[in-house]
Structure 1
Amino acid sequence: MATPPTLKTQRPVVAIVGRPNVGKSAIFNRICKRRIALVFDRPGVTRDRLIADADWEGRPFVLIDTGGLGHEDGTGLQDAVEREADLAIAAAQRVLLVVDGKEGLHVLDTEVAKRLRRAGQKVTLIINKMDPGYGGGKQGEFAKLGFGKGREVSAEHGLGFGSLMAEIGADWPEEDRVKDERTRIAVVGRPNAGKSSLVNAWVGADRTMVASLAGTTRDAVDVPADLDGEEVLFIDTAGLRQKRRVEDPLEKIMGGRTAHAIDRCHLAILAVDSVLGVGLVEKKVAGLIQRAQRPCIVAITKWDLTAQGGEKTKGATFRKEYEAALRQALFFLPDVPMVFVSSLKKSGFRELTDAVATMRKARSVRIGTGELNRVLLRATESRSTPVKGGKKLRLYYATQVEGPLPTLMGFVNHPAIMSEAYERFLSNRIREHFNLGGCPLRWRWRGRDKKSAS
């Protein structure tokens, strides 16, 4: 099982709080210098708290974005949103209270200010939406909150952040930049497939929001944890739907975060609802994983529910048949580990942890040149190399080179003759021999003249 991490660094923690739709996520993205949080002109877009490692002029710190306080959207999730915000406030050395400079003082701003005074944390008032040319003159209203006149910024135009961060970072300790070497694990799949429940059960804490309402998770939520003594970062994502079923423009943005999470992860876990099985959505997500060349594990979630089908859906025989059907549906992800889990019963997580360890080991494997070429020789003897334009491909030898995945340089007579199908055949033989499971291989082909690498 994974566990919540113990802080190994003394990086300052900054939390961003405020009522809905004042621009907290835009400020979060502006300070992080990249688009992490969803930004949309609608109250209540952010629900979970988002955590990101950031730095300002070489000073590393942790930044937390939170959901809007005091907003009721009819989903019944507001209590969970406010609990997440309280956790962020408690962890922070500095809290940024964000207000809307165009709308002026709102009753919810006063309620948030009361909450912060009770918490006793150091607060900096941020008056957002002070865009160029705006002269509304409502800034003075916020002095009633009791946190001074405040700092005026425009998240949309990036104004005011230099002086703001200089003030916040004035009492931070000087610290060398620390490279983030944690394994990033993205948990992806359709909405309501049990992704957040899986992360919570694995970490052993209610770290991401869970509800029976599909689409509860909207952003890609980073969850740091320790996995058998190794630091990892789980990325819990919003579910991906079929395009024809997506009408809400916000949900279209949420779906795009799935692809982004896959691109930034080291390892992807595809969550498949055991009741629904593999459909077009799962195949689409698996295709994204394959194109991104990320190691993959398939987690079959809610396995406890299959017992409701009676004797036919119990026991090892049914599990074996279920896995065979899954592998047939996801044939383009060969040899991927498949693990049956139940977040409710906390079962299958030891196997899932072991599968992650195997994939991490496969990513860093060193393949000896001699043994590699013996495997390739047997492969080419069992299946003839491609022919194109009357020319037959000749594979002279291959060797491993540096890369984020096992990366092989193959020397041939004409790289253009190599086909995707034959490259896939060679990769499967290598993975099988070296026990690499579903870890992808990357090939670079170089011609005899050593000038035509591809």
Structure 2
Amino acid sequence: MPKLPVVAIVGRPNVGKSTLFNRLVGKKLALVDDRPGVTRDRREGDASLVGLDFRVIDTAGYEDHDAQTLPGRMRLQTEAAIAQADVALFLFDSRAGIVPLDEEIARWLRQSATPVILVANKAEGKTGDQGILESLSLGFGDPVQMSAEHGEGVGDLFEALLPIIDKDKDEFPPEEEDEDDERLDAPLKLAIVGRPNAGKSTLINRMLGEDRLITGPEAGITRDSIAVDWTWMDLLGRPHAVKLIDTAGMRKKAKVQDKLEKMSVADGLHAVDFAEVVVLLLDATLGLEAQDLRIADKVLSEGRALVIALNKWDIAENASSLFNGVKKALEDGLSQVKGVTVITVSGATGRGIDQLIGAAFEVREAWSKRVGTGELNRWFEHAIEANPPPAPGGRRIKMRYVTQVKTRPPSFVIFGTRVDQLPASYERYLVNSMRRELGFGAVPVRVTMRAPKNPFDTKE
């Protein structure tokens, strides 16, 4: 039997190493407690992650103590585990952020010949966003974001491990490839959302060419979020894989009293989290209502790419004025994103489906776009030169540089001094300029302002 590759989990005490170990081996082999220092000796187990088999080692929390002390001997065990490993998972607590001990571990790992994957644990929700940004200073690139306790981010961990411990796979050549480019070849995860009876299931049935989903005149037929694999042929006859997700109708929250409907809506919102692109389906016979704007705002707040589809266009009255009215209402109601794509479709006749799916693939490409450092900073310099930041109280805000920290959605960090005093209007100017000049269109773009902490700078 061939020897399994070895993966070692390392990090300071109480960041979730044993929880991740248990998650990978599929059993509660390691003791887990809120108190730090529960794990002392190395614990090993066989793990399987989406068909990828390896040996995983749980290590004690790394602490900087004399080698003769108990914590020091525990550290030696950790160092031995790293020496025998094919790859190290450097775990940190994204909620707590980067502390000096994390920086000490990073310095030690950089001296090792073992490849390192940075893992941001406890990253569910948005409470760990600041810690994830801080982790870029460790020098290991973008971290894998996950929750070992809840199992979130396991797929991303698999993608990070595979090129290192399974190099012989033909589909993963030795040369480094951009992870986002690989994802663009994956099936498009497309969720259809909207108010009850907007025609979501009918539209998906028309796409599939079969009555795959139950439809009817009654509102609220769909309860579960149903995912269906589909191959879309573009106008040139090229096949494209799509995972269509039908969701329950979303009514105004105050009107949802039934427990089952609440569960259905929650399931639909979960489908939005899973999707890459979300199509908000509107009933053209009813026009745009406030609930539609609330759903759109929820989609954009979750960082998903959005396309608006006006369904039942074949029976709509005053089509031209209706279309212009919807566009105007969207411009006014979705102030955070201008120019969302609007497509007219008919689930009954199939009209507009090719345009809708084509638009979804285009918006996913913009949503997944990574801008090169040179191009990004050329844009940044030009934007500041064209419209310099204000000087509140006579003190200028200095914008130093910008970096893209992630994609899907595109997220950027701008560094400078006194950026906390930057007006929201100037931030909107930068985002709008970024959309226009860098080709992001109407996808969500997130920009964070940060002032580097300099202990020698007494002017701040």
Alpha-carbon spacing, 1:207–1:365, altered in 2? closer, same or farther (3 Å): same
Match of 2:374 in 1: 370
Instruction: Give 2:269's aligned residue.
Output: 259
Q: Secondary structure of 1:256's match?
A: helix
From the superposition, tell whether residues 283 and 402 of structure 1 become closer, same or farther in structure 2 (CA, over 3 Å). Answer: closer
Distance in 2, Cα, partners of 1:396 & 1:351:
41
1:207 alignment counterpart: 212
Partner of 1:287: 297
Counterpart in the other structure of 1:296: 306
TM-score by length of 1: 0.54
Identity of aligned residues (%): 32
Instruction: For 1:206, give the aligned amino acid.
Output: D
Residue 421 of structure 1: CA displacement? 4.3
Task: Choose which of 209, 218, 221 in structure 1 pairs with 2:223.
Answer: 218
Q: 1:187 maps to what in 2? A: 192
Confirm or deny: 8 A CA contact 1:337 1:437 kept in the other structure: no
Give 1:321 shift: 4.5
Counterpart contact for 2:287–2:322, Cα < 8 Å = no
Structure 2: distance between partners of 1:261 and 1:450: 43
CA distance in 2, matches of 1:386, 1:304: 51
Q: What's the CA shift for 1:217?
A: 0.4
Q: CA deviation at 1:234?
A: 1.4
- Give the SS at the match of 1:202: helix
Structure 1 residues without counterparts, runs of 5 or longer: 1-32, 34-55, 61-175
Does the CA-based 8 Å contact 1:189-1:285 persist in structure 2?
A: yes
Instruction: Give per-residue Cα distances to partners, 1:371-423, cap 9 Å, x unaligned.
Output: 33343344334545356676543212213334433232322113433455433
Within-5 A mapping of 1:60-71: none
2:30 — aligned with what?
Answer: none
Say if 2:374 is the partner of 1:350. no
1:183/1:266 contact within 8 Å kept: yes
Q: CA RMSD in A?
A: 3.0
How many aligned positions are there? 275
1:362-441 to 2 correspondence within 5 Å?
362-385=366-389, 391-441=395-445
CA distance 1:57–1:367, shift in 2 (3 Å): closer
In structure 2, relative to structure 1, the CA distance for the partners of 1:403 and 1:329 (3 Å cut) is closer
Asked if 2 retains the 8 angstrom alpha-carbon contact of 1:184 and 1:232, the reply is yes
Identify the match of residue 236 of structure 1 among 246, 256, 260.
246
Secondary structure at the counterpart of residue 308 of structure 2: strand
Query: Structure 2 matches for 1:76-225, cutoff 5 A?
Result: 181-225=186-230
**Alignment partner, residue 330 of structure 1:** 334
Structure-1 separation of matches of 2:454 and 2:217: 57
- The TM-score with structure 2 as length reference comes to 0.54
Q: Is the 8 A contact 1:392 1:417 kept in 2?
A: no
| Contact 1:387 1:417 survives alignment (8 Å) | no
Contact 1:278 1:329 in 2 (8 A): no
Paired with 2:49 and 2:404, the residues of 1 have a C-alpha distance of 35
Asked whether the equivalents of residues 386 and 417 of structure 1 are also in contact (C-alpha less than 8 Å), the reply is no
Of the two structures, which has the highest relative contact order with CA contacts closer than 8 Å and spacing of 6 or more?
1
Secondary structure at the aligned position of 1:282 is classed as: helix
Contact 1:273–1:302 (8 Å) recurs in 2: yes
Unaligned runs of 5+ in 2: 1-25, 27-46, 52-168, 172-181, 234-238, 456-460
Please give the per-residue CA displacement for 1:340-389, whole angstroms capped at 9, x wherever unaligned: 11111211112112211211211232323333334334433454535667
Q: Pick from 259, 265, 271: which aligns with 1:249?
A: 259
